[in-house]
Structure 1
Amino acid sequence: MTWRMPHEGDLHERTWMAFPNDGATLGADPAEQDGYYDAWSAVAHAVVEFEPVTMLVDPSKADRARRMLSSEIEIEIAPVDEFWFRDHGPTFVIDDERPGVLGAVDWIFNGWGAHEWAGWADAARHARLVAGLVGAEIVSSLLVNEGGGIHVDGEGTVLVTETVQLDPRRNPYADKARVEAELARTIGATKAVWLPRGLTRDYDDLGTNGHVDIVATIPTPGRLLLHQQRNPEHPDFAVSRQLREVLTQETDAAGRSFEIIDLPAPDVLRDREGFVDYSYVNHLVVNGGVIACGFGEERADARARDILEAAYPGRRAVTIDARRIFAGGGGIHCITQQQPKVLR
């Protein structure tokens, strides 16, 4: 078997999500909790305009989900603790030698490095649960990894971060060679591009320690969309410059140097917790569209839509306010997972 993770822009069967449930990342303030439910629901309703959506919902939240979600969104009742589905759900792959076969990589999920606040007993079972629901072959992995920690071009290139896959709280005995060999086996990656780090806020307690899907993505093979912080007062001003310098020296699996497209951050620098990591890179590509993060800045949000529509020709960009999602440690890409359509 030769598994390959398709590019996110390839045709999807559907998008998967998980409805928020009580826990550390939901917070304790009822008004803030309502904001999470509103944001998750808004993303689901935006996606379902382009492709089917299935939402895993904990039994305790079934009534709330049915009230908030339209009948177009399929609800699957199952135990849910963590609800950042990109990270703990399956990473879908296909086998080019067996048309019609769908695979589901089941990474080990340990709450982004076994944080004391994280509870992941249910989330760690979601990959196999979803694989059973869609009839996918399970691809078991001993690598502690999350879907937000990788981005691929569908042709062998994968973006990863040294502080994620080599995090001693995740993979204490790993080195680059071992990680690359496992990524080759599970998602068909023949060239790993290692970023030295992620954005500053992502190293806070509720962060992921440097997920790549808030920093850079590959809209088409040979091209990168890269987060750009333009304000020198923000620590990510230096970080984004460092990452750009690293990526200008890299090549993809085909040996091409990357064409780098800057995706500027919004103007806001702080929230009540400190410097923000607001990033338009954390978008979801869907059939015929792009679901983009919005941050309440009309001009910056519109500029991001223009850049995304140019990077993904023929797709319409739709902005959803993602500030509440970012307050919990991620963005729109972090709460969704695409299931590719397999051709028979």
Structure 2
Amino acid sequence: MDQHHAVVIGAGIGGLTAAAALHRQGWAVTVLERSASLEPVGAGIALAPNALRALDTIGLGAPVRELSAWQGDGGVRAPGGRWLARTDSAAAARRFGDPLVLLHRATFVDLLLGRLPAGTVRTATATALVRPGTQTEPARVATPDEEIEADLVIAADGVGSRVRGALFPGHPGPRFTGFTTWRMVVPGLGLRFPPHETWGRGLMWGSQPLKDGRVYAYAGALAPAGEREADERAGLLRRFGHWHRPIPRILAAVDPAAVLRHDVRAMTVPLPAYHRGRTALLGDAAHAMPPSLGQGGNQAVEDAVVLAHRLAAPATPVPEALAAYTRDRLPRTTEVVRRSLKAARLTTLGSRPAVMARDAALTAAHLLAPGLALRALDGVLDWTPPGGPDVA
């Protein structure tokens, strides 16, 4: 029987996970990436228990768990340093069966690339969908050099997905949420501190130590769409430089050129489906969400292994497998987007009375109902993949 061929558009986390999962099942896979290289920008990714169990299905769960750096407590703080709510890694592992693993995106990308044959990924290759395919006709994509037919096209081309626009031209797509985010990775400073998020008035900061000694930091603020500063680090110092330790020291060590800023857009109106014909949408292309629950990359990993699971049955036509993928993923990811938007509104409240009420509620809930923050993640982090792990 002829080997099936899949084209993956986009070599981000979701696209590479899908490629690895399909390659494991015997598919020939071509990954087309428009960027000139696969060197990920300076950012971290938090892989939650749901994604770790998904990675077990392609044999990557154990290597990722070995990179876990979170040991001990952490939680949410006020700008002056007062703890509003605390939890610890052991409690998270007990509740959800696994730790939260924070690592540099480059490390995770290298692990995924190690599961693919040499030459699978082609960089500096802009790609357009020519036709999505049908029950009887293959899909077709075009690059500057050629057109490629495939049994399957996976569009993992991000929040601004051109493929999504081609499949669903009448859909409004992701909408601006009203706030912007910054991300940065800081070299090791010899700092020892519990991981935390700090919530202020229309502002949020996160400091997360990585296992190699570096620090992944991120921030959010209410801001107009498209607003930029000549020196983003200076803007961060103005907003956060007077907050509690170690935030000022982290900011002092940031290379201004390494600060990434992005307006946050989310799929507030769900798509009608995550597929058409032989073409599937995956990750941010399908269900962009705020980073408030840290689930963007995790949901892309889930998408990838569920899609591969649905395509595993050789007798099932690809369009039928993709319809099952939509049925599996659309309700779940719509709910995760909704919960992420709710969390984003909570972390970026702008009025002083609302912030005071929020902080008081967090403190009271922590004192009266320890573990409430973890329970709020029930239904998200406790997901398990179909088919069970295959860790060989």
Q: Fold match, TM over 0.5?
A: no
Structure-2-length-normalised TM-score:
0.24
Higher fraction of helix: 2
Structure-1-length-normalised TM-score:
0.27
